[in-house]
Amino acid sequence: MNAIKTDKRTRSYDTVRAAALEALVLIERGEHMDSAIASVTQGKQFRPIDRRFILQLVNGTTKMRRRLDHDIRYYLAKPSAELPLLLSNILRLGFYQLKFTDRIPAAAAVSESVNLTHHMMDRPRANLVNAVMRASLRDPSRVKFTSRDDDPIKHLGDYYSYPDHFVKYCLTEFGLEKTEELLRKGNEPPTVTYRVNFLKSKPDEVANLLQTHGVEFSYGKYLPEFIHIEQAGLPLEAELLKTGKVFVQDESAGMAVRLLNPRPKNSVVDLTAAPGGKTTYIAIRMRNKGRLTAVDKSRVRLETLVENTKRLGISIVAPVASDMFEFNGGPFDRVLLDPPCTGWGTAGKHSDLRWAKTDMDIANLGKVQLAMINKAAKLVKPGGTLVYSTCTIIRSENDQIVEEFLLRHPEFEIESGAEYFPEELVSSRGFVKTYPAVDKLDGAFSARLSRKLH
C-alpha cells in the first residue's frame, strides 16, 4: 500500500496495529476485508497471535465504525468537521480498543495510537489523538444518544453500528425488541463451527478429541454433525482441519443441503459452487457415491474447491468453469442454487458488508436472483428437486423471489421444510429461515421446490 506516508524520524510504533490501520484504510476505499488483510500481512513475519490480533482489530473496528464515529465526535473541538481518512481510522482503531476490548489496557491503547500518528502523520495530529482519547477516558458520560422512543432508527443505528436502511427493514419486519436483539447479537465476537466429515470421522470422535484438549463446544441443535466451538480461533487445526476430518461451515449453511436431501447415486448440480462448502457437504451426504457437478465461473475459486475435495477425501465432484447461464448439462435429480445475495444474515462475521451494501444493491440483486432461479429450473428432471438458498434475511431476496418464480413456473411446487426441520424454523409457506439471534446460527433462507412429473 503506498498511500500512507510515514515519518521515519519518529518514535517506535507497533507494526501489528500499523498493519490493522492500513487494512482499515483499504477497506474504506472499497477493498474487501479479507483481501485488505491479506495485502497488509503478505510477506510480513507476523506470528499467528499477531495475525489473530490484526483480524480482531480490523473486524471489530470495521463492524463498529458508525458507533465509533458517533462517540469520537463528542470529543472533537469541531464535531462536524470531516477528518482526514487516515486520522479518522487512527481514532476509530484507538476508540475500539478503549471501548470494545477487555484485554488491552487503556494506557496502551492511547500511547500506541499516539505513536502510530507520530509515525504515519505528524506531531500536531498526534497531540490531537492524545487529547481526544484521554478526554474520552476522563469523561465517558459526554457521549449521548438519540432517544430510542423518538427516533428508533437513528438510536439503534448509532448504538449498534448498522446503516439506517437495514435497521429500518428490521424494525418493519421484526418489531423493536426483536430488532434490538438481532443487532446486538450481530456485534458479538464471531465463533466458528466445525462440520464433521463422515467419510473420515464421526461427531463423537471429534467431540472426544476437543474434550481431551479442553476445547469447549456444543453440538448443532438441528444438524448434530455440526459442532459449535465456544472459543476464538481454529482449535486443533492440524489434527482436524488439515486432515479433512472437519470443515468450517455455519450450521445454517448446511440446512440448504439437508433440505436438498441428496441420496447416494443421485445426479446433482451445485450451480454457484466455489469454494465448496455446500458442494462438499452434498458429496458427504451422498456417501461419495453418484455424480456431483460443481459449476462456478471463477476458475481460481474452483481450484480452491478441488483442493477442499481432495483434503476431505471426496472423489465424485466434477468441477466445471462456466457462467451458470451458459451451462447446459443435465437434467439432474437435485439442483442447488445459492445465488449472490447481500449477505445480511452474516453481518456478524463479515463486518465490511454493513457499509458496502445499499438498498440499490438489494433491488439489483433481486433481478439477478430471479434470472438465476429461472435458469436453474431448466436443469431439474421431472420429479426432481430444486433448492434455492441464500445467507440473507431480506424478504425481497428470499420469499419474494420464490413466490414470483412459482407464478411463472406452475410445473414447480413448494415442498415444506417441516419434513426436515422443527416448526420453529419453518414459515407458514414451508420455507426454512434462521436468524442471527437464535441458536448460534447465521441468518439464512432455503426453499425446496419439486418439479411435477407431468
Please list the active-site residues.
391
| 375 in Cβ contact with 181 (< 8 Å) | no
Residue 63, all three cell numbers: 463492524
Whole-angstrom distance, CA of residue 328 vs CA of residue 318: 14
Alpha-carbon distance of 219 to 194, in angstroms, equals 10
Determine the distance from the C-alpha atom of residue 223 to the mean position of all C-alpha atoms in its chain, rounded to a whole number: 20
> Could you give the angle at which helices 277-285 and 299-312 cross, rounded to 10 degrees?
40
H helices, E strands: number in the chain:
17, 12
Alpha helices in 238-343 (DSSP H): 251-260, 277-285, 299-312
Give the whole-angstrom CA distance, residue 212 versus residue 198.
21
Rounded CA-CA distance 394/378 in Å is: 26
Q: Grid coordinates representing 303?
A: 481450484
335 membership: H or E segment, kind and range: strand 332-337
Q: Helix, strand, or coil here: 417? A: helix
Mutual angle of helices 123-138 and 85-100, in 10-degree steps:
30
Q: Is 329 buried (19+), middle (13-18) or exposed (0-12) by CB count in 10 A?
A: middle
DSSP type of residue 345: G
DSSP β-bridge partners for residue 334? 268, 385
Cα separation of 205 and 142, whole Å? 53
Rounded to a whole number, what is the largest CA-CA distance in the chain?
Answer: 79
Nearest to 17 by CA among 134, 169, 119, 100: 119
d(CA 415, CA 309): 30
Polymer length of the chain: 454
